[in-house]
Amino acid sequence: DTAVSQTPKYLVTQMGNDKSIKCEQNLGHDTMYWYKQDSKKFLKIMFSYNNKELIINETVPNRFSPKSPDKAHLNLHINSLELGDSAVYFCASSHGAEGYGYTFGSGTRLTVV
């Protein structure tokens, strides 16, 4: 009964490929996020969705496209992967405008070779 689950946990792929990371939450939260943690451990928001609507897009390249089919799911598709995309990607969810119950998934370590 994992609260925020993301798959896969590890992803190794070649430059130029397209890949997706899936995220699902069973907490009934209305807001979901993608955060990126780089090799220096710096965590930065990429996107947020509230009830399937894109709210935040933090100057992320167009190669990254989030998709939210319903408020329990937020997937991340990445086209034409580059070496610099190697990072850990965290999905998160929260409830309401005050960010109650901010919960993170366990992360997806993406390695582009």
Q: Tokens for 112, please give them.
A: 């582009």
Q: How far is the CB of 53 from another protein (least distance, A)?
A: 9
Site for another protein in 10-39 (CB under 8 A): 31, 33, 35
The conformation of residue 80, written as its DSSP 8-state character, comes to S
Q: Specify the amino acid at residue 56.
A: I
Name which position in 50, 68, 75, 93 contacts another protein (CB under 8 A).
50
Q: How far is the CB of 25 from another protein (least distance, A)?
A: 14
In this structure, are residues 23 and 74 in contact, taking their beta carbons and an 8 Å threshold? yes
How far, in Å, CA of 57 to CA of 9, rounded?
24
Q: Does 98 bind another protein (CB under 8 A)?
A: yes
Q: Specify the amino acid at residue 53.
A: E
Q: Which residues bind another protein (CB under 8 A)?
A: 31, 33, 35, 40-45, 48, 50, 55-56, 58, 88, 90, 92, 94, 97-100, 102-104, 106-107, 109
